[in-house]
Structure 1
Amino acid sequence: MIVEVVGGADERPEVRVVDTDDLSKLQLALGQVTDEEADEVLREAGLGRLRDDGTGLLDTAALRAAAEPDADVADWGERFDRMVEQARDRGWVSDDGATLRVHVEGAAGA
């Protein structure tokens, strides 16, 4: 699953969740936007924030709510829970489970 922040209409950045059925990876991909723009649009969408130039923090519940409607596999919820547990085992989930730490990468075509 990829959370993308890309240039949108009128050059206003937008955030979207794509590849929702691929729960083998989770990344935050930034297009041609500044870190400040990405942080602002993530916060406005309620999906998370940038921690630094290489790390983002995504709200677990908000990510699930944004991605699940686009899921095409019957056991998506269970797979999402497994992804979060694997992230927890790696130390990528906050103690309260509210946020997931993810790597920031460039968006495709950026």
Structure 2
Amino acid sequence: MYLEISRADARLAEPEVFTAFHVVRPAGLTPDEFTEALAAHGIGEPDGDDVLVRVAAVRALAAGRVGPDWEDGFAGMLAYAGRKGWLSADGSAVRAHVEGSAGS
């Protein structure tokens, strides 16, 4: 699964894929604009080369688009992230690497 961030919105793509997680920074957004877009959409905040993505934001973007078993898969992904040290201490955010979209 991954998040596509733009000035206008944030979209969760491939929500059923629990084996990969990243955020796509679109071409044309400066680092400051990307940070502003993350905040404006309630997604999270940059942390070095990664983004700390709010778990609640992922759930909100998935709502109404996923089946009843999705939460179990997402919980498993978060448990794995916790074992790897990619989950915040309070469990409210998960670390995602940032990939550029074509042209960025």
- Same fold flag (TM > 0.5): yes
With the shorter chain as reference, the TM-score category is: 0.7 to 0.9
CA contact under 8 A between 1:29 and 1:106: conserved in structure 2? yes
How far, CA to CA, are the matches of 1:20 and 1:77 in structure 2? 11
Alignment of 1:5 with 2:5, yes or no, is: yes
Q: Does 1:19 align with 2:14?
A: yes
Structure 2: which 5+ residue stretches go unaligned? none
Identify which of 18, 26, 31 aligns with 1:31.
26
> TM-score when scaled to structure 1?
0.83
RMSD over equivalenced CA pairs, Å: 1.5
Structure 1 stretches lacking a partner, 5+ long = 7-11
Once residues 97 and 75 of structure 1 are traced to their aligned partners in structure 2, the CA distance between those partners, rounded to angstroms, is 20
Moved more, 88-97 or 62-71: 62-71
Structure 2 partner of 1:44: 40
The within-5 A match list for 1:67-86 is 67-71=62-66, 73-86=67-80
How far off is 1:57 after superposition? Answer: 0.7
Distance in 2 (alpha carbons) for counterparts of 1:66 and 1:105: 19
C-alpha displacement at 1:74, in angstroms? 3.5
CA contact (8 A) 1:3 1:28 kept: yes
The residue identity in structure 2 corresponding to 1:69 is G
SS in 1 for 2:64: helix
Q: Kindly indicate whether residue 101 of structure 2 is the aligned counterpart of residue 104 of structure 1.
A: no
- Number of paired residues? 102
Deviation at residue 65 of structure 1 after TM alignment? 1.5
Rounded to whole Å, the distance in 1 between the matches of 2:75 and 2:63 is 12
